[in-house]
Each structure stands twice: as structure tokens, then as C-alpha cells.
């Protein structure tokens, strides 16, 4: 027997209903906020991720699925969504448009991580990327969109943890302060952090191993190193969030794992599910340097990504799970071949009118069909028999009250819709 690869999941049955539900809410919200769906390849040139996510990042160093295709091209399964979207924006010269671009995506990502609860090797993220504006109103919109989607999914007690890394000058000043603070403590940090100290010291703050050490807890904070402009910018973002009534907490420990962030960085958690780092539902930030870094113009970008697998895990714990259940509304029953022809036609007609309808596909016979209708919890049963059909009539039974009525063939759809 061949099993699925480690860290991957099959989604079927009731769980797939939850996926449909989440996808529906996401795409509806994205459309109301006027975001355009973008689909980019699941694999890209490996270099794209080295230059965007950062060659020194954990993701690129340890977690990417890299391979060569038959033409000896070095390719990587995408570990995140931003790089592909920005690559597409540059390649298609979308920056030439006199407008900002607001994209959303929803797709699978791949990271070779140690699988555990809430951490998979193939997982799904939805996210947005807004390209072409540095206005803090966009930061507030992106953060509130993420928040409002989770709220629309009935996930409660949400809190945005927000921080600012500032512009290049502020980041540099901070980096210097961090380096001189960390230097004397270097051999108390994990091996990876000692390496990070040389390549990208900011990443030390993201370390999962040293996260709880006093050294990191007492490290200098980015917001204390913001220059005037960056500080004012951050305050404006917070003011807009206040106006939008988004719950947030300024958390100087949020630096995010990727190389490309500047200014606003954020994560979103549900305080009801806050015991572990796995409770982070999503996060994002501004990346004003990335577009140029990938050979595009000097432009601006900000985005977020949210993990659907973790959202589903939370929804499964909630009562809401039951409401999402798909219910067969009508079950059509027949025995003879002649009745079957009518059944085929009636089922098609009801389905095309938006009524969730099922019929027998296994030649169960009437008794088996009643049983199946009960199992599916069908609300109404259409019971066909030759005698009534010849008079142009069908029997419709309410499966709860057991009341039965004869209805004209031409009025079935109207009757059903009126009685559901
Ligand atoms: P990141 O791209 O690392 O900022 O992650 C954004 C969100 O994607 C996280 O908050 C998670 O909800 C989700 N996520 C990231 N990595 C994984 C993973 N390995 N398995 C499942 N979900 C993940």
C-alpha cells in the first residue's frame, strides 16, 4: 500500500465542508475589499526564494523542497506566497499601470518542517499583497482585512500583535545596537543563533530555541530605534487601526522570520487558542525593499498570509462545525425504469434551481431508499410511482412531519422551494 507523504493530509468528508466554507468566506471578503485573485506557479526558480525570503533564512536553508527538472533547471516548491506574486508583478510590468495592485491568493505552500500539530509540510495559505503604495492607510486596510476575515469565520478574541522595524536607517541603527548587546552573550545562544549573528542578527529574535531566554527577552527593542519619520508612520498606522476598532497590542518581539520586511510587521492570534506558537493564525508586513531586490522598480509592498489548516483545526473545536454540514434537501425515490426517467429529469431540474438533491444510484429498492434518505437527513422526499405519474402527479413527503401531498409535475420546483 502506498501512503501519503509525511506532513501531508487528505481532506475529505465533513472536513472538506469546512474547507469549502472557509474558501467561500475568504473569496467573498476579498471581492468586497476589491482584491483581485492571482494564481502563480507552485514551483519557481530557486533563486527567487534565495533573493526574496533570504538565503540565510531558516526557510531557505533548511525547509525548501528543491529539485532539478529534466532540463536541469533549479526549481523550488514555493514555501510562501509573496515572492511569486512580486515576481509576477515585475515580470508582467504591472507597476507601469497608474494604479496600485491589490492581489489575493489561496494555495498550497511547501516547507520541509518537522510535522506536528498545526505544522505540516504541505499546507494552505490565503493572503494578500498590495503593491505600489506606501500610504499607512494600506497597512491598516491589510491588517483589518485579515482580522475581519477571521472574525467572519467566527473565530473570536482576536488580537493583532504589531511592531515596526522602521526604514533602512532605523533598521541599521537597531542592528548595530542589537549586535553590540548580543556579542558578550554569544556563547550562551544556540549554534544556529551563533551562525545567524554573522549572517543576519535580527533573525536571532525569531529563534524557536532561544525564544524564552532572558538574553532575548532583554534585548533592545526595534521601536526604540525608529527615526522620527518611521515613528510617526507607525503611530499613524495605529491611529487608523483604532478608528477601525481592531484589537492590537504593540509587541516589540515581533520581527518576523523573513528578510524582506520593513516598517509594519504583525501577527494575528486568537487569545482563546493562545497556548503555543502554533496559535499564530497569520502574519505579514511591509516589504518596501523587495520589489527592487527582485529587479523591479523602487516601489512599495505589504501583505499578509494566513494558514487555513490552523483555522480549520479551530473551527473543528467549535459548535459551528455542525452548522456548516451540507444537508441534502430533497431525496427522489423510484423503482421502475419509467419512474427512473422521471427521477433523472426531476433531480436535474431541482439541482439547477439550487436545491441540494440526491437520488438512488445503486438500485436499492424503496426500503433501501427510505433508509438512505434518513441517513442523509433529507427534508423532503419525492416518491415516484407510475400510477400518479400517468396523471401528471408526484407524492412529496415531509420527512419530519411525515405529511404527504400530491403535487403537479409542472409545479415541483415551486412547491419544493416554498416548503424547504
Ligand atoms: P508564515 O508564512 O511563516 O508567516 O506563516 C503564516 C501562517 O501560515 C502561520 O501563521 C500559519 O497559520 C501558517 N503556517 C506556516 N507554516 C505552516 C506549516 N508548516 N503548517 C501549517 N501552517 C503553517
Q: What secondary structure, in 3-state letters, does 204-266 show?
A: HHHCCCCCCCHHHHCCCCHHHHCCHHHHHHHHHHHHHHHHCCCCEEECCCCCCCCCCCEEEEE
Nearest CA residue ID for atom 15, ligand 1: 307
Measured on CA atoms in the order 305, 307, 308, 311, is the torsion positive or negative? negative
Half-sphere exposure of 391 (CA within 13 A, CB side): 10
pLDDT of residue 257: 61
Taking the centre of ligand 1 as the mean of its atom positions, its distance from the CA of residue 258, in whole angstroms, is 12
Q: Which of 160-164, 205-209, 327-331, 355-359 has the lowest mean pLDDT?
A: 205-209
- Cα of 306 from ligand 1 centre, angstroms: 7
Ligand 1 atom closest to 311 (CA):
12
Beta-strand pair 101-110/36-37: parallel
Q: Which atom of ligand 1 is nearest to the CA of 59?
A: 3
User: Which residues share a beta bridge with 162?
Assistant: 250, 266
Give the closest residue (by CA) to ligand 1 atom 13: 307
- Residue spans per domain, the chain: 13-166+248-321, 168-226, 330-419
What pLDDT does 186 receive?
A: 85
As for ligand 1, residues whose beta carbon falls within 6 Å of it are: 80, 111, 113, 118-120, 123, 125, 280-283, 305-307, 309-310
Banded model confidence at residue 410, pLDDT cuts 50, 70, 90: very high
CATH for 330-419 is 3.40.50.800
HSE-CB at 207 with a 13 A cutoff on CA atoms is: 23
* Per-residue pLDDT tens over the stretch 342-360: 999 999 999 999 999 999 9
Reported residue count of the chain is 420
Is residue 98 very low, low, confident or very high in pLDDT (cuts 50, 70, 90)?
Answer: low
Average confidence (pLDDT) over 394-400 = 97
Comparing 201 with 104, the larger pLDDT belongs to: 104
Per-residue model confidence (pLDDT) at position 325: 72
Residue 104 clears pLDDT 90, i.e. is over it? yes
**pLDDT at residue 396 in the model:** 98
Alpha helices in 262-336, H assignment, sequence order: 290-293, 308-317, 320-323
Statement: 13-166+248-321 belongs to CATH 3.40.50.300: no
C-alpha cell at 50: 534565495
Specify the pLDDT at position 357: 98
pLDDT per position as a tens digit, 298-341: 999 999 999 999 999 888 887 766 677 778 999 999 999 999 99
Ligand 1 centroid – CA 46 distance (Å): 20
Atom of ligand 1 nearest to the CA of 305: 6
CA of 7 to the centre of ligand 1 (A): 13
pLDDT of residue 216: 83
Ligand 1 atom nearest to CA at 118 = 21
Q: Does residue 209 register a pLDDT over 80?
A: no
Euclidean distance between CA atoms 232 and 165, whole angstroms: 13
Q: Any idea which of 53-57, 171-175, 213-217 has the lowest mean pLDDT? A: 53-57
CA dihedral 216, 218, 219, 224 (to 10 degrees): 140
Q: How far apart are CA 218 and CA 220, in angstroms?
A: 7
In percent, the amount of the chain with pLDDT more than 70 equals: 96
Give the distance (Å) from ligand 1 centre to CA of residue 311: 11
Instruction: Tell the residue nearest (CA) to atom 9 of ligand 1.
Output: 282
Query: What does the mean pLDDT of the chain come to?
Result: 92
Taking 60 as the threshold, does the pLDDT of residue 388 lie above it?
yes
Ligand 1: atom nearest CA of 308 is 12
For ligand 1, atom 14: residue with the closest CA:
307
Cell of 171: 533598521
Rounded Cα gap, residues 316 and 333, in angstroms: 34
Tell me the average pLDDT across 61-67. 90
pLDDT band for 259, please (50, 70, 90 cuts).
low
Residue 274 pLDDT grade (very low, low, confident, very high; cuts 50, 70, 90): low
Residue of 58, 105, 307, 308 best suited for mutating to test ligand 1, as the one with most atoms within 8 Å of CB: 307
Q: Which pLDDT tens digit goes with each residue over 240-254?
A: 999 999 999 999 888
Per DSSP, helices labelled H in 114-167 are 136-152
206 pLDDT higher than 70: yes
Q: Which residues contact 13 (CB under 8 A, 6 or more apart)?
A: none
pLDDT band with cut points at 50, 70 and 90 for residue 135: very high
For atom 18 of ligand 1, the residue with the nearest CA is: 119
Using the mean position of ligand 1's atoms as its centre, give its distance from the Cα of residue 310 in Å: 8
Residue 21: DSSP 8-state: H
How far is ligand 1, taken at its centre, from the CA of residue 323, in Å?
Answer: 27
Amino acid at each position: 500500500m502506498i501512503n501519503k507523504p509525511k506532513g501531508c493530509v487528505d481532506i475529505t468528508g465533513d472536513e472538506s465542508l469546512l474547507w469549502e466554507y472557509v474558501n467561500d468566506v475568504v473569496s467573498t471578503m476579498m471581492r468586497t475589499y476589491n482584491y483581485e485573485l492571482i494564481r502563480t506557479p507552485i514551483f519557481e526558480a530557486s533563486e527567487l526564494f534565495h533573493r526574496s525570503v533570504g538565503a540565510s533564512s531558516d526557510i531557505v536553508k533548511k525547509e525548501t523542497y528543491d529539485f532539478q527538472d529534466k532540463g536541469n533547471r533549479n526549481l523550488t516548491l514555493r514555501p510562501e506566497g509573496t515572492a511569486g506574486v512580486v515576481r509576477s508583478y515585475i515580470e508582467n510590468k504591472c507597476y507601469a499601470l497608474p494604479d496600485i495592485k491589490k492581489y489575493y491568493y489561496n494555495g498550497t505552500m511547501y516547507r520541509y518542517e518537522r510535522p506536528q500539530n498545526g505544522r505540516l509540510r504541505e499546507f494552505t495559505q490565503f493572503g494578500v499583497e498590495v503593491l505600489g503604495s506606501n500610504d499607512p492607510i494600506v497597512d491598516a486596510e491589510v491588517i483589518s482585512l485579515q482580522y475581519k476575515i477571521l472574525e467572519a469565520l467566527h473565530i473570536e478574541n482576536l488580537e493583532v500583535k504589531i511592531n515596526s522595524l522602521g526604514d533602512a536607517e532605523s533598521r541599521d541603527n537597531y542592528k548595530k545596537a542589537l549586535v553590540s548587546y548580543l556579542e558578550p552573550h554569544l556563547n550562551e545562544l544556540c549554534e544556529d543563533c551563533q551562525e545567524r549573528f554573522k549572517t543576519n542578527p535580527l533573525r536571532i529574535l525569531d529563534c524557536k530555541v532561544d525564544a524564552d531566554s532572558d538574553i532575548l527577552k532583554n534585548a533592545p527593542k526595534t521601536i526604540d530605534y525608529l527615526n522620527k519619520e518611521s515613528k510617526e508612520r507607525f503611530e499613524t498606522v495605529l491611529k487608523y487601526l483604532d478608528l477601525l476598532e481592531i484589537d492590537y497590542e504593540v509587541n516589540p518581539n515581533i520581527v518576523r522570520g523573513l528578510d524582506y520586511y520593513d516598517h509594519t510587521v504583525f501577527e494575528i492570534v486568537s487569545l482563546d487558542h493562545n497556548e503555543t506558537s502554533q496559535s499564530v493564525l497569520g502574519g505579514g508586513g511591509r516589504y518596501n525593499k523587495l520589489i527592487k531586490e527582485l529587479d523591479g522598480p523602487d516601489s512599495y509592498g505589504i501583505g499578509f498570509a494566513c494558514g487555513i489548516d490552523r483555522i480549520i483545526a479551530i473551527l473543528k473545536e467549535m459548535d459551528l462545525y455542525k452548522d456548516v454540514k451540507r444537508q441534502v434537501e430533497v431525496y427522489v425515490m423510484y423503482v421502475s425504469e419509467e419512474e427512473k426517467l422521471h427521477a433523472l429529469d426531476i433531480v436535474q431540474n431541482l439541482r439547477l434551481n439550487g436545491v441540494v438533491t440526491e437520488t438512488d444510484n445503486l438500485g436499492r429498492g424503496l426500503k433501501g431508499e427510505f433508509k438512505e434518505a434518513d441517513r442523509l437527513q433529507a427534508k423532503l422526499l419525492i416518491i415516484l410511482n407510475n400510477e400518479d405519474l400517468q396523471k401528471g402527479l408526484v407524492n412529496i413527503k415531509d420527512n419530519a412531519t411525515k405529511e404527504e401531498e400530491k403535487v403537479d409535475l409542472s409545479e415541483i420546483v415551486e412547491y419544493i422551494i416554498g416548503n424547504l
